[in-house]
Structure 1
C-alpha cells in the first residue's frame, strides 16, 4: 500500500531512470524534464540543448530519416562560444588588419605561393564555429554512425526475449538517440575548442573555407599572457603563420581533400567496443553518473586501434608534419626581422605538441589526436631543400601530389636532395630504389613478351621445339586429298 501512495517525487533514481526509458521506448517524449535527462545522462550538457534533443525525439517515429541532426552540434557549439558575449573591437580589428598586411608583404619574400583572394580578418569565436563546423561534421560522421549502430546492437542483445519485438520497432529511435547525443557532445567539444584556438590553422587541418585566414582576438590575449613578448610581435608572427597555412591549402587544391580523406580513412575504421558498452550498461547507476561521464571523456568505449588504423594514423601524422614543417620554415624566413621570433616559434611548437584540453577531448571523442609528432624533422628537411634548390624549387613540390616529399624523405632527405639538384641542373635524376624496381619490372615484362613470341613461333604447348615442315613436305593446298603425297 505504501508503494501505491508514493508520488512521482518519491521515486528512487533507478525507478526514475526506468520510467524515463519506458517513455522513450514508447515514443512519448512530451513532458520530459530536460534537467532530469541531463542529470541522468551524466554528460553535463546544457538543459536547453537537451530540449532540442527531445524535440528531435518527438519526430523520430514519424520521419524516415535516420541521419544525424548536426544542427544540434551547431547550437551547442555556438551556445558555448558566445557565452562571454564579447565581439571584436574596432581597435583589435585595426591592429590585426595591419599585422596581416605586413605579414603578407613579408611572405612575398619568403615563398612563391601567391596571396589569398580575400583579405584575412579578425573573427569571433562564434564566427569560427560557424565557419569550421561543416568540416568537423564531415570528419565525425563515421564515428557518429558507429556509435548509433553500437547502441542499437547493444539494446537488442541486452533486452529480454519478450521485449525483442518492441526493441526492433525502436531501432530507429535508438539510432536517433545515439546520433543526437553524439552530435550534441561534438558541439560541446567544438565550442570548447573555439575558446582555445588562436587562428584558423591552429589544429593543423584545413578547417576554414577555401582561401580564408582568420585570428580570434579573444584567444590571442590568452596565448601571449605568460610569454612576456610585445603584442605587436606576437600578432605579426601569428598572422604570418596563419597566412602561410591558408596560402598553402589555397595553392595546392588537392591537399585539402588529401588531408580530409586520410582523417576519414582513420575514422571509418573506428568500431565502438560493444563489450565495454554492455558492461557499462549492466552496472550503470543513474545516481552515480560519474562512471559514464568518465568513459565518454576518456574514450574508454573506443577499442584499441587496429593495424589498419595504426597505419592510417602514421600516414596522417607524416602528412601533417610535412605541411606544418613547410609552414614553420616559411614563417621563420618571413619573420626574420622580429627579435622575438625564435621564442614565439618555440611556444607555438610546444603548444601544438601538447594540445589543449578541448583538443584532448576531441581525441577521446573520435579516437584521433591531430598532432604532427615529426614536425621538427620535417622542418629540418624543408630547410635543406630550401638551401639546395631555393624557394621556387622548394615550393614547386606542392604543385602535384606525386612531387610531395614522403615519410622516407623526412627520415633521410639525401635521395630527395639528389633528385632535386640534378633536375635543377637539367640532368637526369639518379635512380632510386623505386626506379630500379620499375626498370626490373619492365625488363621482366619485355623478356616475357619475347619468350611468348618465341613460343608461338617455334614451340609446342609443352615448351619443346616443334619440327618445322619443309616446302617439299607441305601438302599442296590446291591438290585434292587423293593427290597428296605421303610424308
Structure 2
C-alpha cells in the first residue's frame, strides 16, 4: 500500500488567515546557524535534516501544543500530584488503626470539655486521623478556590510580558523567517503560555501545600476553613513529632490539639458567614495582586525554550513576589483581622476547656504560641506563593478582646459577637477592646429593652393591660 502524498508547503510567511506559517518558522529555527548547540544535538540524534513528512508531523505537534488542552490557570490534579510527591519524599506513613482510635477518643473528650464553655454546639462530629497525603487530597478543593485568582494574574502577567517583548523585537528574533512579524505569533503562542504558566504555578502551589502538610498538626490549624464536612481532623505523625520536643505526654498533647481543632470547627459550623468571608478575603487579596512587570519581562528575555527547568526558575523568582497595592493591602488587613479573631477565640475557649483537666495546659498554650510566632519553612513558602502571611499578626489583641467580652457577659456575650459580620469586631476594635465591650453591652441592653417593649405591646394588643402612656387615664 503506497503512502499518501505529502502535502506541499509554499514558502509564504503568512497563512491565508494572517497566522504565521509554523512549518516555515520551525524549519528556519531548526536550521538557524546562530544556534550551534541545537544543531549539534539534532545531528547527534540523526535528525539534523528533516524530511517533509517528519517536518509535517512536528508542525502538527507544535500546533497541538499551541492550541490544545485546558486554558484554566490552575491545574488541581497537577498540584495534588506534586503535593503528594512532596510529602512522600519527606516520609508519609499510612495511619494505622491504633492512631485512628486514639484520634477518635481525643475528639470525643474534646467535645465533652467544650460543651460547658461555649454556646456553640457540636455539630455532627466526625473524627478523622489523616496522613499528610490525605490532608492534601481532602483540602485541595478549597486551595483551588483560594489560589485560582493568583494563578490567573500570573498567566496574564506572562502573556503581557511576552506581548511586550515581541512588540519591541520587531523582526529581529533569531531563527524566524525574514520579514515575519514576531507579534503575529502571539495569537498562537498565548494558549501555550497559559498552559506553561498553569504548570509552573500548579507545581509551585503543590510544593507549598505539600510542605504545609508536613507541618500542620490539625486540619484547619492555619485558621482557614479547609476541611470539608465539618470533620475534626488530626495528623498523628505531625502531632507525634511536635510532642517529641515537649516535656508532656503525647496523649495530653493530642487531646489539647483536638480541643483546639474541635473549637475551630464549631466556630465555622455555627457562624455560617465566617467561612465565606475568609475565603472571599483571600480571593479579594489575590484578585488585586500586582506583579513586577519589569522583572517578568527581564525573565522572559532570558528564557531558553529548550530548558523548561531554567524557564521555571527564571520566572518563579519574579512571578511569586507580588508588589502590594492599596486595594490588596486593605484586603490583607481584613483577612489578618479575621484570622486573628478566629485564633484568638480558639485560644480563649480552649484555655477555658482544658485548664480544669490537663495538668500541662498552660505549658501547651505557650508551646502553641511559640510555634505560631516562629513560623516555619512551609509558611514562608506559602507566603512566597500567594504573598500573604497565614499567621494572624494581632492574635494577642483579639484574645484580649474575647476575654474582655467573656469577663463582661460570660460565654454568651463572647459568642454573640459572631452573630453577624456587621457586629463582629473590626481591626479598629482590636485597638480598643474595652470600647468594643462597652458598645456591645449597650447594644445588648438596647436589644433587651426592645424585646421587653415588644412583649408588652403584644400583651396590650390581646386584651391585657395597656402599656406606657397610651394606657394612662387622662
Shorter-normalised TM range: 0.7 to 0.9
SS in 2 for 1:195: helix
Instruction: Tell me the residue number matched to 2:114.
Output: 107
- 1:236 matched to 2:236: no
- Aligned counterpart, 1:39: none
Q: 1:158: Cα distance to partner?
A: 1.7
| CA–CA separation in structure 2 for the residues paired with 1:292 and 1:196 | 26
* Match status 1:262 vs 2:281: yes
5+ residue gaps, structure 1, are 12-21, 30-56, 430-487
Aligned equivalents of 2:60, 2:276: Cα separation in 1: 41
Q: Is the 8 A contact 2:107 2:232 kept in 1?
A: no
Displacement of 1:175 in angstroms is: 1.0
Q: Does the 8 Å contact 2:154/2:197 carry over to 1?
A: yes
TM-aligned CA distance change 1:366 to 1:321, over 3 Å: same
- 1:343 — aligned with what? 363
- Paired residues, what number? 390
* 1:424 Cα offset (Å): 5.3
CA–CA separation in structure 1 for the residues paired with 2:134 and 2:309? 33
Deviates more, 1:341-350 or 1:277-286: 277-286
1:73 match? 79
TM-score, normalising length: structure 1: 0.73
- Within 5 Å, give how 1:90-169 maps onto structure 2: 90-159=97-166, 160-161=169-170, 162-169=181-188
Distance 1:291 1:179 in 2: 13
Listed as ranges, the gaps of 5+ residues in structure 2 are 1-32, 45-54, 171-180, 450-474
Larger Rg: 1
Q: Which residue of 1 aligns with 2:16?
A: none
TM superposition shift of 1:271? 2.4
Query: Is this contact kept in 2: 1:271–1:302, CA < 8 A?
Result: no
Match of 2:440 in 1: 420
Q: Offset at 1:179?
A: 1.4
Assess if the C-alpha contact under 8 Å between 2:320 and 2:384 holds in 1.
no
Q: Give 1:63 shift.
A: 4.7
Alignment correspondent of 1:309: 328
1:322-341 matched pairs, under 5 angstroms = 322-336=341-355, 337-341=357-361
In the alignment, which of 57, 67, 77 is matched to residue 61 of structure 1?
A: 67
- Deviation at 1:322? 1.0
Does residue 418 of structure 2 align to residue 398 of structure 1? Answer: yes
Q: Residue 248 of structure 2 aligns to a residue in which SS?
A: coil
Cα distance change on mapping 1:116 and 1:81 into 2, 3 Å: farther
* Cα contact 1:156–1:164 (8 A) shared by 2: yes
Moved more, 381-390 or 306-315: 306-315
| Partner Cα distance (2:425, 2:109) in 1 | 30
Q: For 1:176, which of 195, 205, 208 is the aligned residue?
A: 195
Mapped to 2, the partners of 1:262 and 1:99 lie a distance apart of: 32
CA contact (8 A) 2:67 2:188 kept: no
The answer to whether residue 47 in structure 2 is matched with residue 28 in structure 1 is no
Q: Is it true that 1:381 corresponds to 2:401 in the alignment?
A: yes
* Kept after mapping to 2: 8 A contact 1:329/1:383: yes
Corresponding position of 2:296: 277
Moved more, 241-250 or 81-90: 81-90
Q: Within 2, Cα distance between the matches of 1:275 and 1:315?
A: 29
Please tell me whether the aligned partners of residues 129 and 191 of structure 1 are also in contact (alpha carbons under 8 angstroms).
yes
State the Cα deviation string for residues 351-389 of structure 1 (Å, max 9, x = none): 223322122111111111122101011101111110110
What is the CA distance between 1:128 and its match in structure 2?
0.7
SS where residue 213 of structure 1 aligns? Answer: strand
Q: Following TM superposition, by how much is the alpha carbon of 1:296 offset from its aligned partner in structure 2, in angstroms?
A: 2.7
Separation in 2, partners of 1:376, 1:126: 33
